[in-house]
Chain A
């Protein structure tokens, strides 16, 4: 109830149409006011502004005026084209006006009093021509390089922002980030309604873009830094989903694909829409177990999306065929889809986004990520954890049961190293191998499984040409040594 009351008192918003940005700003930019968008070179501020204009013109019937003060008009057109925006068409449809203002100090002599009425006249003329409701000024601070009298310039910019407010124009004003301030010339002093900061960092040779709503007068907003992405579909800000823990919990169960393993999990398998971690050292059969899970889902007629971070789909299908699991048929039927990608091909955000898009398109009921540990090489622990949280959140809200395999480097570190992600998981199964009497013996056990009675057996298992066969419950044999449980 209090939430509703707050919403009503919030100021009117102009949606940007940028996926995610309207979520973190609770609806968009302040309507009829200027918003400052600050960032370093290449941080995406121009693209953000252009998206705001293009979406306004196309989706919200709010025509726009783009006034650019940058030297290179060609560059803008190119940048924008890479996003798939066709400004020329919008201009022809009278939904957009692009005006270039370039001031070259070398060809200008200043003598006596002047004002920037020329800018006002041109802007007003453009606005009137198409009934514009949105304006972008990109990057107005370049004027400081073109005019000597900064006193006049400041006074005129202040007048310009007031003029925009008086005319109820929703404006995006881009600015180059200064050393200490959000703008080089301290424009934040004049634009106090909303400030958005963009950032572009490179960490371990992988670049990440981030966006933060620094200030938003009269509105609640997300205060974190949110990763965002620029690709052929334009700008997308994450999260695309809510970050609250309010997923519905169902009592429905999903088979693991192995009756014996189902038995170990309260006789019924995993909960639907839960998360499962399957961890173990190399060659313990994680992928085979995951394949059983996928196979069973497809056999029920459900769709499974399988993310591969190590193998190609063909390799995976071949290997599983050797283990007696025929995935090809599900692939042919369109019930199983693979999404194979090298983890270090791009940053975490891109991965996250591609996962979102793949899930969105295929709409599976089961997702497997194999192995999730490969993604951990892409970012810092905090980043990976944050990303996984988002992925899990997203999958849970969609009611998807997700299985993650995790490769541990050594058996002794199994439980400790995964403390970082294990808390995000509802069920955690460990698989391992020990060598005794010239034989490698596989065993597995359920380390935890929230909300269900589960077996505390350590069971041996074999992988033959008919898949995984788990030994029946019996007192541990001498060669299936129970591993020491570490206290955490």
Chain B
């Protein structure tokens, strides 16, 4: 697992949720993807037209562009376990 993760975090302004999401993401990445990740923060308040490409609806949304396939995680990323599952860094639990 040496592939670099290309991540985009979509937010709308520096809302508490956005700040929290970014902090949570950094923490998770540093812990599980050290040295092989790259985060781009996209503020839709500044660039609303960018919301179309990734079909952004909910905010914050984290989009994993690489490795493929594309994955989306919405919310403030407060549940590390869920984020890891969403990023395919941990197998999805069969039940539930």
A116 touches B55 (CB 8 A): no
Contact B75 A118 (CB under 8 A): no
Bound-state CA distance A119–B58 (Å) is: 7
Residues of A within 8 A of B58 (CB): 114-119, 147
**B22 at the binding interface (Cβ < 8 Å):** no
Q: Which of A100, A103, A125, A147: most chain B CB closer than 10 A? A: A125
Interchain CB contact (< 8 A) of A112 among B49, B70, B71, B76: B76
- A99: B residues at CB distance < 8 A: 52
In the bound complex, do residue B71 and residue A121 qualify as a contact, i.e. CB atoms below 8 Å apart? no
Q: How far is the CA of A113 from the CA of B18 in the complex (A)?
A: 10
Contacts of B48 in A (CB 8 A): 121-122, 124-125
Question: Distance (Å) between the CB of B14 and the closest chain A CB?
Answer: 13
Known: A109-B82, A113-B17, A118-B12. A103 touches B75 (CB 8 A): no
Are the C-beta atoms of B73 and A109 separated by less than 8 Å? yes
- Decide if A118 touches B44 in the complex (CB within 8 Å): yes
Measuring CB to CB, which residues of chain B are less than 8 angstroms from any residue of chain A? 10, 12, 15, 17, 20-21, 24, 44-45, 48-49, 51-52, 55-61, 69-79, 82-83, 85-86
CB A35 to nearest CB in B, in angstroms, measures: 23
Give me the 6 closest cross-chain CB pairs, A-B, nearest first.
A109-B86, A125-B48, A112-B78, A112-B75, A112-B76, A111-B82
Chain A residues with CB below 8 A from B77, complex form: 111-112
Find out whether the CB atom of B55 lies under 8 angstroms from the CB atom of A103. Answer: yes
Partner of B60, one of A107, A109, A114, A125: A114
Interface positions of A (Cβ within 8 A of B): 99-103, 107-122, 124-125, 143, 147
Whether A122 pairs with B56 at a CB distance below 8 angstroms is yes
- Quick one: closest A residue to B21, CB to CB? A112
Q: Is the CB of A111 within 8 A of B57?
A: no
Min CB–CB distance B45 → chain A (angstroms): 7
Q: Is the CB of A115 within 8 A of B56?
A: no
Closest to B24 in A: A112
- Give the residues in chain B near A103, CB-CB below 8 Å: 55, 57
- Which chain B residues lie closer than 8 Å to A117 at the CB level? 12, 15, 44, 58-59
Told that A110-B73, A113-B17, A116-B57 touch, could you supply 7 new A-B pairs with CB distance under 8 A?
A107-B69, A107-B70, A109-B73, A114-B58, A115-B58, A118-B58, A125-B48
Chain B residues positioned under 8 Å from A102 (CB to CB): 55
> Is B71 within 8 A of A115, CB to CB?
no
Q: A103-B55, A122-B52 are in contact. Are A113 and B45 (CB under 8 A)?
A: no
A122–B82 Cα distance when bound, in Å, is 27
Please, how many angstroms separate the alpha-carbon atoms of A353 and B42 in the complex? 53
- Asked if B12 contacts A121 (CB within 8 A), the reply is yes
- Kindly list chain A residues whose C-beta atoms are within 8 Å of the C-beta of B72: 107-109
Question: Using Cβ atoms and an 8 Å threshold, which residues of chain B touch A112?
Answer: 20-21, 24, 75-79
Q: Could you tell me if B79 and A118 are in contact, using CB atoms closer than 8 angstroms? A: no
Q: Can you list 7 A-B pairs, Cβ within 8 angstroms, ordered by A?
A: A109-B74, A109-B86, A111-B78, A113-B17, A118-B10, A118-B61, A122-B48
- Tell whether, in the assembled complex, residue B52 and residue A114 are in contact, meaning their CB atoms are under 8 Å apart: no
Give Cα A100–Cα B20 distance, bound, in whole angstroms. Answer: 29
Q: Which B residues are in CB contact (< 8 Å) with A109?
A: 71-74, 82-83, 85-86
* A206 CA to B24 CA, complexed, in Å: 60
Q: What separation, in Å, do the CA atoms of A292 and B23 have in the docked complex?
A: 91
* Chain A contacts for B57, CB-based, 8 A: 101, 103, 116, 118-119, 143
Nearest residue, chain A, Cβ from B16? A113
Give the nearest-CB partner of A147 in chain B.
B58
Quote the shortest CB–CB distance from B81 to chain A (angstroms).
8
Query: Smallest distance from the beta carbon of A147 to chain B beta carbons, Å?
Result: 7
Known: A115-B17, A118-B12, A124-B48. A101 touches B55 (CB 8 A): yes
Chain A nearest CB: distance from B50 CB in Å?
10
How far does the alpha carbon of A99 sit from the alpha carbon of B21 in the complex, in Å?
Answer: 27
Given known A-B contacts A118-B44, A122-B48, A111 and B86 have beta carbons under 8 A apart: yes
- A118 neighbours in B (Cβ, 8 Å): 10, 12, 44, 51, 56-59, 61
- A108–B83 Cα distance when bound, in Å, is 11
Q: Give chain A residues whose Cβ lies under 8 Å from the Cβ of B20.
A: 112
The answer to whether A122 and B51 have CB atoms under 8 Å apart is yes
Chain A residue nearest to B12 (CB atoms) is: A117
Residues of A within 8 A of B56 (CB): 118, 122
In the complex, what's the smallest C-beta–C-beta distance from A146 to chain B, in angstroms?
8
Give the docked Cα–Cα distance between A99 and B53 (Å): 11
| Shortest CB distance B60–A (Å) | 6
In the complex, A5 Cα to B70 Cα: how many Å? 60
Q: Which residues of B sit under 8 angstroms from A121, Cβ to Cβ?
A: 12, 44-45, 48, 51, 59
**Contact residue among B49, B59, B70, B78 (Cβ-Cβ distance under 8 Å from A115):** B59
Q: Who on chain A is nearest to B61 by CB?
A: A118
Task: Across the interface, name the chain A residue whose C-beta is closest to B72.
Answer: A108
Residues on the B chain within 8 Å of A116, using CB:
57-59
